[in-house]
Amino acid sequence: MSGGGCGGGACHCGEAAAPAPATVEAPCASINGIALHQPGERPDEYTLRELAWAELLRQAAVARQLLPKSDATLAPRLGSAEQTVIQQMLDDEIEVPAASEDECRRYYAARSAHFALGRRVHARHILFAVTDGINVAALAAHAEKALIELRHKDVAPGRFAELARTLSNCSSGADGGDLGWIGPDDCADELAAELFHTTEGLDAVGLHPRLVHSRYGFHIVEVLARDAGRQQSFEEVGPRIAVQLAQQSRAKALHQYMQLLAGRADVSGLVLEGADSPLVQ
């Protein structure tokens, strides 16, 4: 018997096996021809973007003769000395005008409630926790159904506490959902935003009209009482506002500066938001 396979008319098992396709390595991401990583490496998107921004800044510093040229084809990792040089370059090139007193006063007037000391609320909540594998849409619908019941004009006074004890995934459920007196720093950022940082209903008490979605899940929230705290004067907070506005202006200018660098560079293997217009302060 020949070694030509199993003998079936449609059998091809005796034929020479086709060679496995050659593995093709993905090309390295690069900035102006300088690779950001070694061949075969696959940095995650965040890491790759960080490498790209760092290389853009290094090349900008080299072009200004602040850092030495390199013949390397792989982007070098920046040490503390190089980072200091780049930071000084940014400080020299990004001019951030100081905020005027009028700008600071307008900022204060629009957000005066944010500058109160000792603000707090007495609140209670029902938490519908989002856990691994849970049907989030069904959970939200379940929470919305409970909220609608509590918003009904004829709801029994003790119904909130009853639902908190039976439905809430928070330990406060045993106390009817009561969180006690809490300030902006005592709760999740999403809750703090709804209770303390929105211009809508800063003085409101009662059942919150919509679900609050936080990193923990969906909350039904009721404010039982508010303590407005002590309002700080503009003179007390004016210097802090000026620093905050300067930080915001610098962050915007830095973003525009990086956009300009990206727009002028030959970027390969990733997408960076670029700009072809001059830096706008």
Span 139-186, pLDDT tens digits:
999 999 999 999 998 999 999 999 999 999 999 999 999 999 999 889
Phi, psi (rounded to 5 degrees) for 13: -70, -15
pLDDT for 143? 96
**Where are the chain's structural domains?**
22-111+235-281, 119-228
State the amino acid at position 109 in one-letter form.
A
Residue 245 reports pLDDT greater than 60: yes
pLDDT band at 277 (very low <50, low <70, confident <90, very high): very low
* pTM of the full structure: 0.57
183, exposed or middle or buried, with CB in 10 Å at 0-12, 13-18, 19+? middle
Say whether domain 119-228 belongs to CATH 3.10.50.40: yes
CB under 8 Å to 225, separation ≥6 — which residues?
A: 121, 122, 205
d(CA 51, CA 54): 5
Say whether pLDDT at 11 is over 60: no
Please say if the pLDDT value at position 26 is more than 70. no
The answer to whether residues 212 and 194 touch, using CB atoms and an 8 Å cutoff, is yes
pLDDT > 90 in the chain, percent: 64
User: Within a 10 A sphere around the Cβ of 231, how many other Cβ atoms?
Assistant: 13
**Residue 122 contacts residue 225 (beta carbons within 8 Å):** yes
Q: How far is CA 18 from CA 10, 12, 14, in A?
A: 17, 12, 12
Q: Round the average pLDDT of the chain to a whole number and report it.
A: 86
pLDDT of 16 > 60? The answer is: no
Residue 279 has pLDDT above 50, yes or no: no
| Whether the predicted pLDDT of 69 surpasses 70 | yes
